[in-house]
């Protein structure tokens, strides 16, 4: 790492994020100005975008090679009052909370409360949404049955393809003009709306070009005052780059990175899109320019690496816009879920890895930054070398990269009806979400608390926490004569709440389409230009809406416990079980032990549990998949929690699997913490009974200590483990390399860490099974390694 | 079959990802094995604690063995029967080996080699790989430290070569007992006469669980022994430098 990158990296790691009102003030100024009056909404939005980009402060960090910030400086985090208005107490919480805080200074607070908030009050998307949804939606939402993504942040959930490396914004403008020229005002009722949308796109395209030229001028000015001849030269070069891109297509690797960065800033300035934005397959898409620059001698590998590292810092400079309320609990992090993809296959389905793939992996390892996050796509066509390189980085213990099965991702998209080439050029983004890059809007609409449905079924639709009859009356469980009756009741509850969620989603989709179009983002996603339709209104080639199921492991184990104990072994009656869970087991350790230790558990390749998992999956799939959204696409399922399993757990009482009230649910498709006692092959076998190919992503976590990967022969066996999971159509696996603190935690709470494998000496064993001395030794060793 | 433990994703009992069945009972009484549950942790070898076992029919064994078939196929792994001493249950073992062969699953037996030679041959010729423990060459010492003479063990060791049974030899390096130059040179001569050896695993002693011995005051002879250091391990390894098969430290 060069000294200047080291400096940039240290700086981005040390700055405390803070709230900046720059964007909110410029936006409000624009909407207050006469110029905004009477404009069609898309044009108004586009002009506001332009106003922000033309008036915002420019910033160039000492020594950086890629320029541009979302705020007036790195880590200055904007608000989006047209979407969600922070209250005074929100600002107080942001400023003072212990974790993931954002400094809010006195001027900011005053300005926000005196000017911004009053102006937008009553007009924010959040308020529109809550005014438009039904009461039963609101009740279910408050009870923690589901969450809603779009009440604080904009639909985004999309990733860029190769189009910006082949087109400048001038080319996009020309395309837009061609479509405008062909509009049919005689017979197309939508022609006027289409023209507005296309003109809005054009305004934003011109705006981003002007923005880059402002930077060019600023860099020229800086270069004049620069004393170091090398930096002076560099600043002049950068000024030249910003003069050329994004107006024109990039001619060099450096231009390509800078071009993308302007695009990124445009997207995250226009709206606070979920998962920020993402260049996607940069090893595939930027390779031709990289190789050409190397061949011509314009670039060497070291310089390419330095450029990439400077690029990496730019992502890290933009913390996720702070959320409020429940959403803050769902995903309370500075991470904005930009997930760089490397590896995978090319448009012909061949191994897409190249030298740039490995250079990027070097950058990931050296930078060790939370953002951008990274993943490796692994197809059966990719070499083992790729997987081993990924494992070397995983071993260093910062949770990256995660590993994805390209072949499964492609099949998932084919099942959804996508073109095979679009599928091959896609990947996964956010946490684990499958998408056709540059061509799809794949919106996550909210997490769905499957365990809460179980609780409602156990209580005949009544929610004791909010003291309301939320669901239909599906029967008193004490009367249920067999397990099938219970499952039928569960299905009725599930269907009822899924329908509430979908109805709410369809209302919310329409609000976004009408009030907050995204003309800039629409330029970047096919086929918004040719269909003359906004990204938020269904302009993308593919439009998928997801409802993310949470708590699969807890639900499976709970159902298995009911089936096994109440109906098969008849260890106790439903009434007894209900009494115990209602009292949070009331200290009855023996009773709880039957649930935790003597009942079948998912994650052990045990069909008594896994068959129920299959039933639940089918139910959830049948009730959601294929239902239409309002954008010409369909509802789909995926199984991932981010951190929502913690919030969902907090609203669910004790469960029949022995889980105490309020404890987090299982996460993703991982087994309940500590329930898997037969090692990783059994977990993988259980997890692969889920039909991954009918989802748009699943998340599986496995824990290891770093030294298990330090032994070459073990590393190969982990490689085989991954290859086998992917052969069984697993979508994603992530190795959490645990640190010493986790091991200490495991010593204290062994029952939560029954699955934790450590390398001892020439062999591996479960950590909790080791003697205390040995545990201490391993903790010391782990402390040294990290 | 009396099985006291089943370990999936077993990484050190033969090639690839394996499922290891630990079978009950052992005819040896190794001096370093008096604290049985931790012995396995001392040398990374098989366990001698066979007290809590469960009876499995062959069908159940095959069913469990087949669960991880995709992993064996991907990694070149399979099933290992370890112990205790698996040959004590030779009848069921032969049947299990045959059934697994029908399923095209690779099998290994982890044995002390202490068994009737005819019986030994019958078992090992039905397996794809034998993991063979060699401890001490000198018969007297062998009896002193393990409770049995090594005559049968050495005879069986030759049988592996005569019948071309692929073999990994494992030598537990117990300080001052098995890791002496004299013993290792003698074992090396023995190894060189066997044409079936694919690999030699030298298993260093691990002092980590040693404190337990001190606390329990069970075995003064073992207490206080130290893990071989890198220099010692390299010296030991160099003894076997010129053998025509792969050598590993730590299996």
pLDDT in tens, A657-695: 999 999 989 988 999 988 888 889 999 999 999 999 999
- Among residues A441, A407, A602, A597, which one has the least CA distance to residue A518? A441
3-state secondary structure of A605: coil
Strand partners, A702: A735
Q: Is A197 within 8 Å of A534 (Cβ atoms)?
A: yes
Alpha carbon separation from A236 to A66, A250, A297, A314 (Å, rounded): 13, 17, 19, 20
Distance CA A55, CA A214 (A): 10
Output A750 or A555, whichever has higher pLDDT. A555
Please return the burial class of A453, using the count of CB atoms within 10 Å of its CB with bins 0-12, 13-18 and 19+: buried
* pLDDT tens per residue, range A571-607: 999 999 999 999 999 999 999 999 999 999 999 999 9
* pLDDT tens per residue, range A103-123: 999 999 999 999 999 999 999
Can you spell out the DSSP letters for A617-682? HHHHHHHHTT-B-TTS-EEEEEB--TTHHHHHHHTS---TTSPPTTPPPP-TTPPSTTT--S-HHH
Q: Give the best residue of B10, B45, B66, B70 to mutate against chain A (max A CB count within 10 A).
A: B70
Distance CA A719, CA A283 (A): 22
- Among residues A647, A648, A650, A730, which one has the least CA distance to residue A688? A730
Q: Is B84 within 8 Å of B25 (Cβ atoms)?
A: yes
Rg, chain A, Cα only = 27
* pLDDT tens per residue, range A392-432: 998 887 778 999 999 999 999 999 999 999 999 999 999 89
Is the confidence at residue B186, as pLDDT, over 90?
yes
State whether ipTM is beyond 0.85: yes
Please indicate whether, in this complex, the C-beta atoms of B212 and A773 are within 8 angstroms of each other: yes
Distance CA B165, CA B167 (A): 6
Is the confidence at residue A325, as pLDDT, over 70?
no
Confidence class for position A779, pLDDT limits 50, 70, 90: confident
Q: Does A509 participate in catalysis according to the annotation?
A: no
Confidence (pLDDT) at B207:
63
Cis bond upstream, residue B220 (ω within 30):
no
Q: Cβ contacts (< 8 Å) between B203 and chain A: which residues?
A: 762
Q: Is A316 within 8 Å of A10 (Cβ atoms)?
A: no
Can you spell out the DSSP letters for A8-24? HHHHHHHPPPEEE-HHH
* Domains of chain B, earliest start first: 2-249 (3.20.20.70)
Please indicate whether, in this complex, the C-beta atoms of B209 and A765 are within 8 angstroms of each other: no
Distance CA B182, CA B7 (A): 36
- Among residues A427, A443, A670, which one has the least CA distance to residue A535? A443
Of B11, B74, B208, the CB nearest to A764: B11
- Among residues A334, A335, A329, which one has the least CA distance to residue A400? A335
Output A168 or B12, whichever has higher pLDDT. A168
Query: Two tokens at B65?
Result: 């063995």
Alpha carbon separation from A730 to A280, A368, A379, A694 (Å, rounded): 21, 27, 12, 11
- What distance in Å separates residue B236's CA from the closest CA in chain A? 17
Is the confidence at residue A338, as pLDDT, over 80?
yes
Alpha carbon separation from A520 to A36, A164, A523, A732, B102 (Å, rounded): 18, 13, 5, 32, 63
- What distance in Å separates residue A406's CA from the closest CA in chain B? 18
Residue in the structure block whose two tokens are 């053998």: B243
Confidence class for position B217, pLDDT limits 50, 70, 90: very low
Can you spell out the DSSP letters for A264-329? HHHHHHHS-BTT-----BHHHHSHHHHHHHHHHTS--HHHHHHHHHHHHHHHHTSPPPP--HHHHH
Q: Running DSSP on this structure, what letter comes out for residue A378?
A: E
Confidence (pLDDT) at A759:
64
Please indicate whether, in this complex, the C-beta atoms of B9 and A680 are within 8 angstroms of each other: yes
Distance CA A584, CA B219 (A): 48
Distance CA A633, CA A542 (A): 7
* pLDDT tens per residue, range A81-101: 999 999 998 899 889 887 778
- For the ranges A525-534, A736-745, B206-215, the lowest mean pLDDT is seen at B206-215
Of A717, A760, A763, the CB nearest to B17: A717
Distance CA B237, CA B110 (A): 22
Cα A220 versus chain centre, distance: 38
Is the confidence at residue B43, as pLDDT, over 70?
no
Q: Rounded to the nearest 5°, which phi and psi values hold at B28?
A: -90, 160
Please indicate whether, in this complex, the C-beta atoms of A682 and B7 are within 8 angstroms of each other: no
Catalytic: which of A82, A151, A412, A433?
A433
Distance CA A69, CA A264 (A): 10
Is the confidence at residue A174, as pLDDT, over 80?
yes
Q: Give the CA-trace dihedral at A375, A379, A384, A389, to 10 degrees.
A: -10
Confidence (pLDDT) at A101:
87
Distance CA A336, CA A273 (A): 10
What is the separation, in whole angstroms, between the first and last Cα of chain A? 19
Phi-psi region of A296 (alpha: psi -120 to 50; beta: other; left: phi over 0): alpha
Residue in the structure block whose two tokens are 């390892």: A365
Q: Give the best residue of A384, A724, A763 to mutate against chain B (max B CB count within 10 A).
A: A763
């Amino acid at each position: 790492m060069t000294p200047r990158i080291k400096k940039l990296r240290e700086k981005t790691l040390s700055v405390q994020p803070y709230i900046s009102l720059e964007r909110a003030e410029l936006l409000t100024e624009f909407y207050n100005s006469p110029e905004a009056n009477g404009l069609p909404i898309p044009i108004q939005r586009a002009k506001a975008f332009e106003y922000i980009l033309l008036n915002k402060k420019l910033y160039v960090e000492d020594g950086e090679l890629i320029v541009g910030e979302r705020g007036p400086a790195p880590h200055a985090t904007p608000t989006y009052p047209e979407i969600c208005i922070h209250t005074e107490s929100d600002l107080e919480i942001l400023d003072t909370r212990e974790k993931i805080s954002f400094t809010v200074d006195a001027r900011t607070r005053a300005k926000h409360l005196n000017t911004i908030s009053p102006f937008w009050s009553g007009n924010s998307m959040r308020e529109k949404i809550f005014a438009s949804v039904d009461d039963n939606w609101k009740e279910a939402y408050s009870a923690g049955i589901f969450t809603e993504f779009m009440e604080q942040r904009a639909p985004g959930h999309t990733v860029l393809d190769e189009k910006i490396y082949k087109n400048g914004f001038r080319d996009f403008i020309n395309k837009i003009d061609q479509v405008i020229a062909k509009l049919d005002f005689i017979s197309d009722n939508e022609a006027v709306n289409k023209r507005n949308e296309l003109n809005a796109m054009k305004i934003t395209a011109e705006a981003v070009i002007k923005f880059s030229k402002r930077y060019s001028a600023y860099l020229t000015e800086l270069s004049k005052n620069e004393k170091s001849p090398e930096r002076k030269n560099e600043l002049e070069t950068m000024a030249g780059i910003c003069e050329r891109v994004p107006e024109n297509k990039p001619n060099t690797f450096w231009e390509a990175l800078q071009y993308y960065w302007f695009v990124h800033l445009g997207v995250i300035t226009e709206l606070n899109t979920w998962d920020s934005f993402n260049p996607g397959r940069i090893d595939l898409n930027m390779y031709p320019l990289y190789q050409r620059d190397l061949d011509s001698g314009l670039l060497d590998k070291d310089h390419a690496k330095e450029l990439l590292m400077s690029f990496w810092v730019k992502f890290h400079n933009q913390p996720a816009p702070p959320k409020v309320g429940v959403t803050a609990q769902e995903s309370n992090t500075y991470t904005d879920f930009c997930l760089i993809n490397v590896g995978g296959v090319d448009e012909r389905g061949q191994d897409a890895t190249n030298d740039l793939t490995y250079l990027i992996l070097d950058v990931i390892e050296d930078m060790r930054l939370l953002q951008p996050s990274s993943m490796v796509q692994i197809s059966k066509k990719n070499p083992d070398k790729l997987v081993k390189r990924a494992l070397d980085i995983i071993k260093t213990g910062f949770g990256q990269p995660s590993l994805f099965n390209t072949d499964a991702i492609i099949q998932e998209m084919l099942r959804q009806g996508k073109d095979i080439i679009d599928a091959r050029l896609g990947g996964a983004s956010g946490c684990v979400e499958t998408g056709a890059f540059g061509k799809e809007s794949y919106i996550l609409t909210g997490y769905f608390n499957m365990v809460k449905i179980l609780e409602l079924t156990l209580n005949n639709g009544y929610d004791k926490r909010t003291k309301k009859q939320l669901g239909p009356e599906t029967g008193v469980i004490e009367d249920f004569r067999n397990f099938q009756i219970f499952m039928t009741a569960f299905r009725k509850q599930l269907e009822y709440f899924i329908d509430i969620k979908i109805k709410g989603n369809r209302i919310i989709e329409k609000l976004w389409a009408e009030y907050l179009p995204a003309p800039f983002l629409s330029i970047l996603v096919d086929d918004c230009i040719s269909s003359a339709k906004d990204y938020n209104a269904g302009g993308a080639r593919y439009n998928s809406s997801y409802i993310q199921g949470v708590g699969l492991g807890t639900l499976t184990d709970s159902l298995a416990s009911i089936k096994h104990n109440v109906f098969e072994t008849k260890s106790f009656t439903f009434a007894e079980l209900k009494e115990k869970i209602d009292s949070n087991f009331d200290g009855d350790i023996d009773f709880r032990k039957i649930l935790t230790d003597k009942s079948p558990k998912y994650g052990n390749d045990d069909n008594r549990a896994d068959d129920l998992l299959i039933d639940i999956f089918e139910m959830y799939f049948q009730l959601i998949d294929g239902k239409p959204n309002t954008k010409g696409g369909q509802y789909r399922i995926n199984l991932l929690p981010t951190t929502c399993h913690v919030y969902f757990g907090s609203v669910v009482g004790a469960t029949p699997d022995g889980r105490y009230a309020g404890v987090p649910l299982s996460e993703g498709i991982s087994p309940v913490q500590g329930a898997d006692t037969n090692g990783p092959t059994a977990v993988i076998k259980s997890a692969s009974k889920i039909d991954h190919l009918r989802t748009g992503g699943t998340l599986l976590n496995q824990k290891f200590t770093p030294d298990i990967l330090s032994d070459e022969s073990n590393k190969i066996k982990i490689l085989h483990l991954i290859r086998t999971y992917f052969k069984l159509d697993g979508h994603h696996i992530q190795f959490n390399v645990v640190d010493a603190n986790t091991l200490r935690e495991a010593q204290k709470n062994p029952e939560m860490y029954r699955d934790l494998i450590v390398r001892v000496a020439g062999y591996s064993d479960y950590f909790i099974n080791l003697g205390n001395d040995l545990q201490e030794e391993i903790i010391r060793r782990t402390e040294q390694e990290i | 079959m009396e099985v006291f433990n089943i370990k999936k994703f077993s990484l050190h009992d033969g090639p690839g990802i394996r499922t290891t069945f630990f079978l009950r009972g052992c005819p040896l009484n190794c001096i370093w094995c008096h604290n049985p549950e931790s012995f396995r942790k001392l040398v990374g070898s098989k366990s001698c604690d066979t007290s809590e076992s469960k009876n499995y029919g062959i069908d159940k064994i095959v069913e469990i063995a087949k669960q991880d078939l995709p992993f064996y196929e991907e990694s070149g792994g399979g099933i290992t029967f370890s112990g205790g001493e698996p040959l004590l249950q030779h009848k069921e073992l032969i049947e299990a080996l045959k059934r697994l062969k029908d399923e095209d699953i690779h099998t290994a037996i982890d044995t002390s080699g202490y068994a009737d030679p005819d019986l030994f041959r019958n078992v090992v010729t039905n397996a794809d790989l034998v993991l063979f423990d060699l401890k001490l060459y000198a018969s007297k010492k062998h009896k002193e430290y393990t409770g049995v003479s090594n005559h049968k063990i050495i005879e069986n060791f030759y049988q592996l070569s005569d019948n071309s049974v692929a073999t990994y030899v494992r030598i537990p390096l117990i300080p001052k007992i098995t890791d002496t130059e004299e013993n290792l040179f003698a074992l090396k001569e023995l190894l060189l006469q066997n044409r079936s050896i694919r690999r030699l695993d030298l298993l260093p002693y691990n002092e980590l669980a040693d404190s337990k011995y001190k606390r329990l005051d069970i075995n003064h002879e073992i207490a206080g022994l130290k893990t071989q250091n890198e220099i010692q391990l390299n010296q030991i390894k160099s003894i076997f430098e010129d053998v025509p098969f792969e050598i590993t430290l730590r299996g």
